[in-house]
Structure 1
Amino acid sequence: MADFHQNGVVATLHNLRERPIAEIERELAHFAQTRPITLILPSLFSELEAPALENIVDELSLVPYLSHIVIGLDQADRDQYRYAKAYFARLPHRHSILWNDGPRLRAVDEKLKAASLSPDQPGKGRNVWFCIGYVLGARNAGVVALHDCDITTYSREMLARLVYPVTHPDFRFLFSKGYYPRVARRTLNGRVSRLLVTPLLLSLERVYGHHPYIDYLKAFRYPLAGEFAMRAHVLADLRIPSDWGLEIGVLSELWRNYSNQSICQVDIADTYDHKHQPLSPEDASTGLSRMSTDIAKALFRKLATDGVVFSQESLRSLKATYYRTALDLVEIYHNDSRMNGLTTDRHREEQAVELFAANVLEAGNVFLDQPDATPFMPSWNRVQSALPDLLDEIQTAVRLDSEEG
């Protein structure tokens, strides 16, 4: 059973195991009559060939309260797009597929490029950004949720608990973030969150002093969770990174735009597992190596906008502080695992810490060398100002793709 601890920064909504899922779903079906719920699913075509997404679609087919499912499909040719249409056809809800590699949405992207507004990197962030534009153009959502398509332990309870805080008419929350334990095959997972983000936040505080933004991020039990939901009006002003800093970037935007009292985190699962990225120490452009660098850069950029001054000397101190703090946490996680009958590989954990320490310094050096870089995708408010008809053009492109097949 969960505890009931509150951190005093953002509200934590626990799962005390007292309510059956059918009861929660009945309430959500009632709330959704006045606050319709849309789900965004960013997907690679390859995920349609894996068992995780098949189970997710089966579970979603049982959900009674969704009004619209928006699927962002990446890395698909025409035949694969047609396959995706047949694949998702069993969903009983209204659903739309954004064929991001199709000629119509590529033409939309060319118009964005001409206005210097196109996302400059492929990947999940760009996929999510276009899905947000489609949802805004549809103008029929009160709440929008998002989760990944590679969750191997998925159940529809995850979605119900995720959207409940921002759908309930008596709750004031505008944004909810999922959290869960990362345990699978009797092993403690979640290396980037445990071994990079947690010790890095502690180290930033020790080197640069107390900062309310650091307190805010420390308050989240799983800041890198890809599951979040929000009131639809929040979407239009989000400026999110196009790289692996997406989850930190979304939290940063909520910090910038809203009171902490509008934000909550919610326990959505007892167990959680998904596709694991390789550490990739030999290639800094992929895997957890790339992810760690992008996350560190996102943190440095945000702190700099709040007046924190970085230098080569302070970054060297930060690296040393991070390394020692992370090694201490490796010991704590090892003890926690053993007490619960789980395992951690001490050698691999320390290898990860060594790589992350090097990437913290590299991320800092990149930031110092390019302080004027703007790796954020523009907000849709800005896009609408520059290209007032674009949201309707995205709607038309998706509709014509669907009709032609």
Structure 2
Amino acid sequence: MEYVQERVTTLHDLADPRPKTPTDRCAVVVPMTEREYAGLAAERVLSELERVDPARVIVPLRAPADKVAQFHDWLAEYDLNLQTLWCTGPRVESLLDAHGLDGTRGKGRDVWLAVGQALSDEYVVVHDADTKTYSRWYVPRLLYPLLEGHDFSKGYYARVENNRLYGRLFRLFYSPLVRTLADEHDAPVLDYLASFRYALAGEFAATSDLLRTVRFQRSWGLEVGTLGEAFAEAGFRRSAQVDLGAYEHDHRAVSGPTGLSDMSQTVGEAILRVVTDHGVDPDYETLPARYRETGFDFVRRYATDAAYNGLEYDRSGEREQVSTYAEAIRRPGPDRRLPAWDDAPITPAEVRQAASEDMAEARAAGGVDRDTDEDEATDEE
């Protein structure tokens, strides 16, 4: 147990905190894809959210048309004020395309669409649906700093499962890359990025006022891009991180189309875009080699920590991962971030209307009666 403060306010799990917070003024965004359908982890998340009783739960859904009706009906089983926002429906896609917002689909785009719907609530919490250890206290814990003058709150936790260290993309890529950049550049943004104990966590909370101004990465760069925007809008004084305690969720392979090596390319680009936004000009010729050296040093440290705790540790495999991640470090390409909702050429109401019509059509095709559809465009803006 430790109680050290970082440059951002750090709230620790010292006594199983269960703060009282205004969850009735909070929208919770829980992005899902078809793989979450009726899964044990997702069912736990939804059941626990019933005990939280937030003002609204918004599920941005990325799934094919033939899965939408059964997904909606499954979500409707829970005692929640829940809106399913089908993010890949034809009218939503056409709306985005007509305003030059088409492009890569991914978690970041899904969350951006859902956050637009959540802005009428005072606070917004975003978290994943694959958490096997999800607790009803995650939402109140994430909200608490917002009651104490902060505008942005990030979750963190230790990734130790099955007698092994996980959190590999954070441990072996994000942290060593940020450290490498900080060794060469004295920039507050690098101190900010280094202050978060698990920067790639999918759990965060923010005031709706802040989220109106945030540009969103389209896919796996969401978490890093959000930190960059929070640095610009909230800074050190109005940012916080919260220990969420025990946390287990699904793991990804290193290779493959949705593996960590692919993710590292998007995450690396997001990191480098954030730092260049704030005046850092990396030497891209030498950066991969310098990162690799730093990453190998991190492997040595983690090996020592694992041995001390009696954990299994594949030193050779983790060094191979560092070498793989080094190949992902390159100058960022064109900026395809989604605009802040304050500057967007479309409105949340237009998205909601398009998504509602898409949902109605998908449900009709699936033989589902619309009479009890809670996703029709009846929510107030």
Q: TM-score, normalised to structure 2's length?
A: 0.89
Which of 182, 190, 193 lines up with 1:217 in the alignment?
Answer: 193
Name the counterpart of 1:245. 221
Q: What amino acid sits opposite 2:80 in the alignment? A: H
**8 Å Cα contact 2:38-2:74 kept in structure 1:** no
Instruction: State the superposition RMSD in angstroms.
Output: 1.9
**8 Å Cα contact 1:59-1:155 kept in structure 2:** yes
Name the counterpart of 1:380. 341
Secondary structure in 2 aligned to 1:156? coil
Name the counterpart of 2:56. 68
Which of 177, 181, 191 lines up with 1:204 in the alignment?
Answer: 181
Q: What amino acid sits opposite 2:3 in the alignment? A: F
Q: What amino acid sits opposite 2:127 in the alignment? A: H
**8 Å Cα contact 1:60-1:91 kept in structure 2:** no
Deviation per residue, 1:78-137 (Å, 9 max, x gap): 4x22212221223222110012233xxx32331332221x2410111111111112223x
Distance of aligned partners of 1:279 and 1:378 in 2 relative to their CA distance in 1, 3 Å threshold: same
State the Cα distance separating 1:227 from its structure 2 match: 0.2
State the Cα distance separating 1:256 from its structure 2 match: 1.3
Which of 137, 151, 154 lines up with 2:134 in the alignment?
Answer: 154
The alignment status of 1:163 with 2:143, answered yes or no, reads yes
Distance 1:54 1:234 in 2: 30
Secondary structure in 1 aligned to 2:27? strand
Q: Tell me, which stretches of 5 or more residues in structure 1 are unaligned? A: none
Distance of aligned partners of 1:186 and 1:82 in 2 relative to their CA distance in 1, 3 Å threshold: same
The alignment status of 1:235 with 2:211, answered yes or no, reads yes
Distance 1:93 1:303 in 2: 40
State the Cα distance separating 1:239 from its structure 2 match: 0.6
Deviation per residue, 1:327-386 (Å, 9 max, x gap): 1111111111122222221121111011012222xx23xx3xx4xx11211121122xx3
Deviation per residue, 1:197-235 (Å, 9 max, x gap): 1111111122x3211111111110001010000111112
1:1-400 matches, cutoff 5 A? 2-7=1-6, 9-17=7-15, 19=17, 21=18, 24=19, 27-28=20-21, 31-32=22-23, 36-64=25-53, 66-78=54-66, 80-102=67-89, 106-116=90-100, 118-136=101-119, 139=120, 141-166=121-146, 168=147, 171-206=148-183, 208-269=184-245, 271-280=246-255, 286-310=258-282, 314-360=283-329, 363-364=330-331, 367=332, 370=333, 373-383=334-344, 386-387=345-346, 390-400=347-357
Distance 1:259 1:307 in 2: 15
Distance 2:23 2:49 in 1: 16
Aligned length: 362
Distance of aligned partners of 1:244 and 1:339 in 2 relative to their CA distance in 1, 3 Å threshold: same
Secondary structure in 2 aligned to 1:70? strand
Please identify runs of 4+ aligned residues in structure 1 that moved more than 6 A. Answer: none
Distance of aligned partners of 1:83 and 1:222 in 2 relative to their CA distance in 1, 3 Å threshold: same
In proportion to residue count, which structure has more helix? 1
Q: Tell me, which stretches of 5 or more residues in structure 2 are unaligned? A: 361-369, 374-381
Distance 2:87 2:349 in 1: 16
Distance 2:280 2:45 in 1: 42
Q: What amino acid sits opposite 1:127 in the alignment? A: D
Name the counterpart of 2:366. none
Deviation per residue, 1:261-311 (Å, 9 max, x gap): 111000012x2221212111xx5x54111211112212222222333334x
State the Cα distance separating 1:399 from its structure 2 match: 4.5
Q: Percent identity?
A: 32
**8 Å Cα contact 1:37-1:145 kept in structure 2:** yes
**8 Å Cα contact 2:109-2:216 kept in structure 1:** no
Distance of aligned partners of 1:134 and 1:119 in 2 relative to their CA distance in 1, 3 Å threshold: farther
State the Cα distance separating 1:32 from its structure 2 match: 4.2
Q: What amino acid sits opposite 1:273 in the alignment? A: E
Distance 1:298 1:393 in 2: 28
Q: What amino acid sits opposite 2:306 in the alignment? A: S
**8 Å Cα contact 1:148-1:226 kept in structure 2:** yes
**8 Å Cα contact 1:119-1:242 kept in structure 2:** no
